[in-house]
Amino acid sequence: MREGTAAETGEATASRIAIALGSNLGDREANLDFGRDELAKRGLVWSAVSSSYETAPVGPVADQPPFLNQVAVGETFLSPQALLEVCLSVEQARGRERMIHWGPRTLDLDVLLYGAARVLEPNLTVPHPELANRAFVLVPLAEIAGGWVVPGYNKTVRELLAGLDSGREGVQVWRSSDTR
106 vs 60: CA distance, rounded Å: 18
Secondary structure letter of residue 177 according to DSSP: G
Q: Which residues are catalytic?
A: 96, 105, 108, 110
SS3 label, residue 143: helix
Name the residue ranges covered by the structural domains of the chain: 12-175
Rg (CA), the chain: 16
162-180: pLDDT as tens digits? 999 877 778 889 876 655 4
130-140: pLDDT as tens digits? 999 999 999 99
pLDDT band at 110 (very low <50, low <70, confident <90, very high): very high
Model pTM score: 0.87
Sign, Cα dihedral of 116, 91, 71, 138 = positive
149 contacts 133 by C-beta, under 8 angstroms: no
Q: For the domain bounded by 12-175, which CATH number is listed? A: 3.30.70.560
The helix (run of H) or strand (run of E) holding residue 155 is strand 155-156
Whether 16 shows a pLDDT value over 50: the answer reads: yes
Q: Helices 28-41 and 80-93: crossing angle, nearest 10°?
A: 140
113-155: pLDDT as tens digits? 999 999 999 999 999 999 999 999 999 999 999 999 999 999 9
